[in-house]
Amino acid sequence: MPIKDKPTPSRPRLIANLLLGVSGLFLLTNLFLPGAFGTQNTSVPYSLFIHQVQEGEVKQASVGQNQIRYQLKGENGTPGDVYVTTPIFDLGLPNLLEEKGVEFAATPPPKNGWFTSLLGWVIPPLIFVGIWQFFLARGSGSGQQGVLSIGKSKAKVYVEGESDKVTFTDVAGVEEAKTELVEIVDFLKTPTRYTQIGARIPKGVLLVGPPGTGKTLLAKAVAGEAGVPFFSISGSEFVEMFVGVGSSRVRDLFDQAKKQAPCIVFIDELDAIGKSRSSGGFYGGNDEREQTLNQLLTEMDGFAAGDATVIVLAATNRPESLDPALLRPGRFDRQVLVDRPDLSGREEILNIHAQKVKLGQDVDLRAIATRTPGFAGADLANLVNEAALLAARNQRQTVAQEDFAEAIERVVAGLEKKSRVLNETEKKIVAYHEVGHALVGALIPGSGRVEKISIVPRGMAALGYTLQLPTEDRFLMNEMELRGQIATLLGGRSAEEVIFGSITTGASNDLQRATDLAERMVTTYGMSKVLGPLAYQQGQQAMFLGDNSPNPRRSLSEDTAKAIDVEVKDIVETAHKQALAILEANRELLETITEQLLETEVIEGEKLQSLLNQVKSAELSLSNLR
């Protein structure tokens, strides 16, 4: 291999380092060897000095606060030797010197010598130069200029050939999004096929969807398939305390991208810098975030002029908060929805992640996918890892189906809290409460299949839980199914009323969820005959952060707000009566299942299904219940 020459330091830096070294040497010498640059005298004890004065041997003396310097009488009038001594507090010394005829005087105050002046004028500038060189050298390893690199882009660059290269085969469950992005890959590979006929590829592609669905992974897969450089940066990395730094980093990022075109620029969490300027977050042109957004708008609208093939991919789970100027055609021309996977998509994702662990012969990934509705790609990856951790904890060599079942319950309901011991009365109340949920849920259509009843405490506050899983992916629900869900939520409280004739605080979360669902039926879904097919809430589009609580209501009249409250109360009370009627008709079965639950603490599988198949349908109608 050829030997590389060592880099030669620049002349100014060499001179500065030399001066700094020389001044440091002089300073250390002056501090630790104070007599190196002056005349040295012999030091004697103070008692010897007094003896010599009394004997008349001292000719003259210079008395100072910290030192006495004196000269002895020489032979034939020649000057004698000079000595120094350290004085002590002696008020009779002047009288003694005068009595013995010694010429004495006080030592004049010290004057700054040439060396002290040199240090005062040279050392501070040299220290400043040394500190400046230190900060400049801090950025030399990355090719930047230390403190001057504050406006440089912090984007990470991934190039083809890296070991962690991602392709479309590593992404599953988002087939529609992959189909949309194939065109981007094809354009980066063969741009002339599009440009020859006058076609223009989208400058920007916005990936929107719930957290954990694989937006960042999809962007990496596009770069891996196209084989082009991939610049990755988070939106929060643009914004700093100093105004103008974000816009400078945006300019630098696109300058780097144009030099390596064709390439992909990926901005994660775009809403960190792309929030709407009309939302009240900006106040004038001296706002750092607004300047960063304006620079991004300018770069996206003009960087493609010429032959530079740069495509911007961005990801966000809050598209409703983005500025309209950012979403217009010519900037982010295309929005690709990356949604939660369906049943087949979840199975494909599990297959990909399961390749990294050792599976047992009894593992059925299709059954696991069926039991995980609503799980995103990140949730499924975490599920596989949790199952592997449980298998290792139980000293197994492979991951079994029961490990996946326990991992699902950990994700859905939380960890088991066996240390939370309930007394017998509380345990009995919890058992009737959970069996009440199960019986009502087993009879109500559209509420899912009851898979497990447990009175083992889990999570932060759950003293027991009833696990219901849908038998298929559902995207629409009718009014009767929603009313059935509310009745199922109230089944636990209703069981307490039927058996004990009183209620406890255990149903607080059930009541909250039931009330929220009833309010959405009235104000959002238009399922009230009294209020009609009107929306009484302020709609917010594309909310992907998992907030199912009702949106703020519009400005309503007092009569309308009162009518909404009456309708919500009517829906909840009707469902409550429905749950009570079902449990009254199946009271014997309610007590039978509860007794078995108190003995085993958990009922699931075929045993649970055989018990729930005995539920009797009560003769119910909404008109009779109201």
Q: What is the 3-state secondary structure (H, E, C) of 227-254?
A: CCCEEEEEHHHCCCCCCCHHHHHHHHHH
Q: DSSP label at 203? A: S
**What's the average model confidence in pLDDT over 175-198?**
84
Residue 622 has pLDDT above 50, yes or no: no
Distant-in-sequence, close-in-space partners of 330: CB < 8 Å, separation ≥ 6: 203, 300, 301
- Is the Cβ–Cβ distance between 464 and 507 less than 8 Å? no
Using CA atoms, how far apart are residues 303 and 306, in angstroms rounded to an integer?
8
Using CA atoms, how far apart are residues 373 and 470, in angstroms rounded to an integer?
7
Q: pLDDT grade, residue 283 (50/70/90)?
A: very low
Report the Cα 299 to chain-centroid distance in Å.
Answer: 27
26-49 pLDDT, tens digit each: 655 555 555 444 456 788 888 888
Q: Determine which of 428-437, 464-473, 614-623 has the lowest per-residue pLDDT on average.
A: 614-623
586-598 pLDDT, tens digit each: 999 999 999 999 9
**What's the average model confidence in pLDDT over 398-420?**
83
Q: Is the peptide bond preceding residue 262 cis, with omega within 30 degrees of 0?
A: yes
Using CA atoms, how far apart are residues 212 and 544, in angstroms rounded to an integer?
11
Using CA atoms, how far apart are residues 402 and 424, in angstroms rounded to an integer?
29
Catalytic residue among 288, 434, 496, 567: 434
Distant-in-sequence, close-in-space partners of 458: CB < 8 Å, separation ≥ 6: 409, 413, 414, 415, 416, 417, 465
Query: What is the average pLDDT score of the chain?
Result: 79
511 by Cβ neighbours in 10 Å (0-12 / 13-18 / 19+) ranks as middle
Report which of 471, 363, 361, 462 is spatially closest to residue 409, judged by C-alpha positions.
Answer: 462
The encoded tokens of residue 490 equal 């109230």
Radius of gyration of the chain (CA): 42
Using CA atoms, how far apart are residues 83 and 356, in angstroms rounded to an integer?
87
Angle at the Cα of 333 (from 331 to 338), degrees rounded to 5?
120
Using CA atoms, how far apart are residues 506 and 494, in angstroms rounded to an integer?
12
Residue whose entry in the numeric block shows the structure tokens 């990936």 = 207
- C-alpha distances (whole Å) from 139 to each of 78, 147, 231 are 68, 8, 20
Beta bridge partners of 537: 553
- Torsion (CA) 53, 56, 57, 62 in degrees, nearest 10: 50
Residue 445 has pLDDT above 90, yes or no: no
Alpha-carbon dihedral sign for residues 612, 617, 618, 620: positive
- C-alpha distances (whole Å) from 189 to each of 183, 185, 226, 265, 312 are 10, 6, 6, 16, 16
The pairing of beta strand 310-316 with beta strand 449-454: unpaired
pLDDT at 249: 82
More confident residue, 430 or 227: 430
> Domains of the chain by range and CATH?
42-106 (3.30.720.210), 156-337 (3.40.50.300), 343-413 (1.10.8.60), 424-625 (1.20.58.760)
Report which of 513, 494, 511, 512 is spatially closest to residue 577, judged by C-alpha positions.
Answer: 494
Q: Determine which of 390-404, 482-496, 523-537 has the lowest per-residue pLDDT on average.
A: 523-537
- Is the Cβ–Cβ distance between 126 and 20 less than 8 Å? yes
| Known catalytic residue at 99 | no
Helix (H) or strand (E) holding 489, with range, is helix 479-489
Residue 148 has pLDDT above 60, yes or no: no
The encoded tokens of residue 235 equal 């939106």
pLDDT at 5: 42
**What's the average model confidence in pLDDT over 128-141?**
62
**What's the average model confidence in pLDDT over 337-352?**
90
Using CA atoms, how far apart are residues 140 and 148, in angstroms rounded to an integer?
11
> Hey, is 214 helix, strand or coil?
coil
Alpha-carbon dihedral sign for residues 511, 517, 523, 527: negative
pTM here? 0.68
